[in-house]
Amino acid sequence: MRLGAHLSIAKGLDKAAETAANIGANTFQFFTRNPRGGRARIITEKEAASWQAKRRQHDLFPVVGHLPYTVNMAAAAEKSFAFAKMVISDDLQRMDAVGVEYLVVHPGSHVGAGREKGIKKIIESLEEAFIPSRGKTMLLLETMAGQGTEVGSLRDIQEILSALGHPERLGVCLDTCHLTAAGYDFLQKEEVARLADDLAELVGLERVKALHINDSMFPPNSKRDRHARIGQGYLGREGILNVIAHPVFSGLPLLLETPVDDYLEYKDEIELLRSWTE
């Protein structure tokens, strides 16, 4: 099982690799730049070399970058739209340069312009910033909770993928909390099977590359994105296990994004999850 958590690279990618090893992770995720702003750290050659050695030493694969929340590909406002395209194009290059396998992005929010306009903007952003990009890093669109004016249901993602002609390096990242909020009830095994069927039909299972493993503070269909710690929300042991034991999801890298005060607390959650699946 590939299991890890969202960590900080503020002190360096190589330091994050050490933290990952300390918490018993064999994969991890990090923000590619300041999550609420957008400033990017320069990753020096020295750091990159130390990072490559550490990830091999600690067997950290795959590794996932997450774009900041300020990136909104669906934005109608020109300034935000231009920022989103700049960051996507830049971070695809930055991540490829350090061998990061996946880059996750929230599709965006239409902020009142309507779903169709939002989807059109997302397609336009990807046409300009993603399609011309080269390298190996795959861009993953994350499935969202449907909160406010968020775009990012499986149907939205299907529309985006087909408008772009299903590019090879464009995939999907799931989130157990978001999917609960969007209406799947993982306390029932049939609902996990329904998700697998929907993914196969709408996006293709081969495109699903990562899973954010979070409990949800609210029950299904709340349209509210509030992560809870493992075992402390609606899903509990049963809901989480129903998902991660299912053959479609069991091979995915599982990344915790639960509310902790210190990254080292993820060690307990990783141990808990491992004890459940043994």
Question: Which stretches of the chain bind Zn ion, using CB under 5 A?
Answer: 142
Token representation of residue 87: 């960051």
SS3 state of residue 109: strand
Nearest approach, Cβ of residue 274 and Zn ion (Å): 23
Handedness of CA 213, 214, 219, 221 (dihedral sign): negative
Q: What CA–CA distance (Å, rounded) separates 259 from 70?
A: 20
Nearer to Zn ion, 142 or 191 (CB): 142
Nearer to Zn ion, 14 or 225 (CB): 225
Token representation of residue 140: 């993953």
Nearest approach, Cβ of residue 212 and Zn ion (Å): 6
Residue with smallest beta-carbon separation from Zn ion? 142
Beta strand 215-216 with 227-228 is antiparallel
Chain centroid to CA 78? 25
Nearer to Zn ion, 8 or 22 (CB): 8
Nearer to Zn ion, 58 or 224 (CB): 224
Quick one: DSSP state of residue 182? Answer: H
Nearest approach, Cβ of residue 210 and Zn ion (Å): 10
Of 198, 211, 117, 121, nearest in space to 153 by CA: 198
Nearest approach, Cβ of residue 106 and Zn ion (Å): 6
Nearest approach, Cβ of residue 57 and Zn ion (Å): 28
Q: Which amino acid is at 48?
A: A
Nearer to Zn ion, 20 or 64 (CB): 64
**Phi, psi angle pair for 172, to nearest 5°:** -135, 140
